[in-house]
Each structure stands twice: as structure tokens, then as C-alpha cells.
Amino acid sequence: MSREEWLEERLRPSLAQKLRIDRQLYRDKTEHQDLIVFEHQLYGRVMALDGIVQTTEADEFVYHEMMTHVPILAHGAAKRVLIIGGGDGGMAEEALKHPLEKLVQVEIDRTVVDIAREHLPSISGGAYDDPRMELLIADGARYVQETDERFDVVIVDSTDPVGPGEILFSQEFYAGCKRCLTPGGIIVTQNGIPFFERYAVENTYRRLGTLFQDVSFFLAPVPAYIGGFMAFGWGTDDKTLRCQPLETLAGRFAGLGTKLRYYTPAIHQAAFAHPQFLVDILEAV
């Protein structure tokens, strides 16, 4: 009988999550990180980078729906969207459900895109073949400093702040994103699990706070990212966009004509409500 293989995801010095590798589909070192794709009994196909779970077929809908539909529907007239990272294509797939004119995705690791297209086709859907989509293989931090393009929404779908993703949590990077936004544009960021990563929300709150008039977080539980709800950073200069009447969001959502699996207008509104421990963390910044 062959021995079971497991991915041990080290989350903290004293904490790890283990996922059984039921069938390995790909494993190699890319130019930037260690990449593995495998099948798991509960999560379906799973992609991990440098030993950290990035996305799973079973729960990706929570993360990708919230990071796209919340800012795009809140904006109300977004035509141009920028995704930084997002190699699995799930963010692009959700964003392209909106009547955008252009979607630019800047991903540093071509192998992540190629392997996700091959082994996780249900996550990107047809996104990479959509004529509105432009995929650039480049460092997102450099792109936002140099591009002349402007966007209504910037979505930072980064790895955690280690390795090539570290720079995507820096003040300099956020300032670059602001530079790329149209007036009243919105930036959203993946900001980890506040229960474990208090420093991640503190740092982003402080850094976005020097750049935008309205800074906050919205929340959603993503099962594979253990430790409770995940926080998504929110920054814009338009203070009217965060708290909008339910009817406004519901009207825009109905206009999409799409049924989603996690996002609803009521979830959108409620996601900006914070438990007291998060209020305390943010007030102390």
C-alpha cells in the first residue's frame, strides 16, 4: 500500500494545516515560487505556492466574488479594471461578468497562469480568452509606478506578504495604485485573517489611510484560509461609495442578470460591519 502524502501548510510557528494530496497534478519550482496543484477530497483541486494554499475549486467563489463584485457594484460605472496577481484567473472571470471595456491583469509568474489554465479551468472559465482581457507577465509593483493607463477599480489579488508578494503590501505600491485610479476609483486588497494577522490590517489601514479619504475593510469567511473571516482592504476618495442603500446595490446587481454563490447585495452591505475586536484594532492604529 502506498504511503499517504500531505501538504503541510505552516501558518504560524505553532500552527499548521494539513491537506491530504489525493492526486498530484503538478509540482515544480517556477521562476518565482514553488507551485503544486493537487486533488483533495473536500476542496477539489487545490493550488499552493511556497506551501501556502492559494485557491481551491470548492471555496474560491467566496473570495473571488467578494473581491470583484463589492468594488465594481459599489463604483456603479466601472469600465476599466486592473487586477494585480490573480494568476489562477478566478478574479478575472468574476470581473468580466460586468460590462467592462477593459480588464488588465498583471501577474508576475507565467507558470501560475499556464498551470492554472491547464489544471484549474473551472476557476478561470473563459477569462483568458475574453477579448476585453489583457494579461501582462510583469511585477505588479513596477507596473503601477510606470503605466499611463487609468482604472476605475484596482484589485490586489496577491500572495501573502512574503516572497514576490511582499512588495504588494508596501506604502510605495499603494501609492502606485492610487496613481492608476480615476477620481473616485476604488482599491481593494487581500489582507489576510485578522484573528491571526493583526499586523496585516494595521499596516494596510495606516498605509491606505495616508492616501485615501475613506479606508476600511470588508469581511468574508473563506474556508481554506483558516482562522475565521478574511479581511479585504478598501480605499477610495469617494466617501459615498462604501455605505449605499440596499436598493441601489440590488438594482445594479439585478442589472448583471447573474446568479452568484456567495455575493448578495445584503452580504455586500453586511460585510462592512466589524466585530468589536476589529474595531479595537483599527481604533488603535
147 to 106, 235, 242: CA distances (angstroms): 11, 20, 27
Q: Decide if 189 contacts 197 (C-beta within 8 A).
A: no
Position of minimal CB gap to ligand SAM? 85
CB of 282 to ligand SAM, least distance (A): 21
Cα 99–101–105 angle (5° rounding)? 105
CB of 109 to ligand SAM, least distance (A): 4
Backbone angles phi, psi at 10, to 5 degrees: -85, 115
Which of 141/249 has CB closer to ligand SAM? 141
Q: Can you tell me which of 9, 43, 87, 200 binds ligand SAM, judged by CB under 6 A?
A: 87
Site string for ligand SAM, 160-199 (x = CB under 6 A): ----xx-xx---------------------x---------
* H or E stretch at 218: strand 214-221
Q: Can you tell me which of 9, 50, 65, 88 binds ligand SAM, judged by CB under 6 A?
A: 88
Q: How far apart are CA 180 and CA 215, in angstroms?
A: 17
Which of 97/142 has CB closer to ligand SAM? 142
If one asks whether residue 156 binds ligand SAM (CB under 6 A), the answer comes out as no
139 is in an annotated binding site: yes
64 is in an annotated binding site: yes
Q: Is 280 one of the annotated active-site residues of the chain?
A: no
Q: Decide if 86 contacts 156 (C-beta within 8 A).
A: no
* Encoded amino acid at 99, one letter: P
Question: What stretches of 186-270 show up as alpha helix (H) in DSSP?
Answer: 198-209, 246-256, 265-270
3-state secondary structure of 167: helix
CB of 14 to ligand SAM, least distance (A): 20
If one asks whether residue 55 binds ligand SAM (CB under 6 A), the answer comes out as yes
Residue pointed to by grid coordinates 501558518? 11
**Residues within window 102-141 making contact with ligand SAM, judged by CB under 6 A:** 106-109, 112, 139-141
CB of 208 to ligand SAM, least distance (A): 18
Site string for ligand SAM, 90-109 (x = CB under 6 A): ----------------xxxx
Cα 211–213–218 angle (5° rounding)? 95
Instruction: Give the pairing type, strands 15-21 and 23-29.
Output: unpaired
CB of 123 to ligand SAM, least distance (A): 9
Q: Please state, as a whole number, how many other Cβ atoms lie within 10 Å of the Cβ of residue 28.
A: 9
* Encoded amino acid at 231, one letter: A
**Residues within window 252-281 making contact with ligand SAM, judged by CB under 6 A:** none
Q: How far apart are CA 264 and CA 279, in angstroms?
A: 24
Which residue is catalytic, options 157, 214, 237, 280? 157
- Binding-site residues sit at 33, 64, 88, 107, 139-140, 157-160, 164
Binding-site residue numbers for S-methyl-5'-thioadenosine are 33, 107, 139-140, 164
- The residues that touch ligand SAM, with contacts defined as CB under 6 A, are 54-55, 63, 84-88, 106-109, 112, 139-141, 157-159, 164-165, 167-168, 190
Which sequence positions are flagged as catalytic? 157
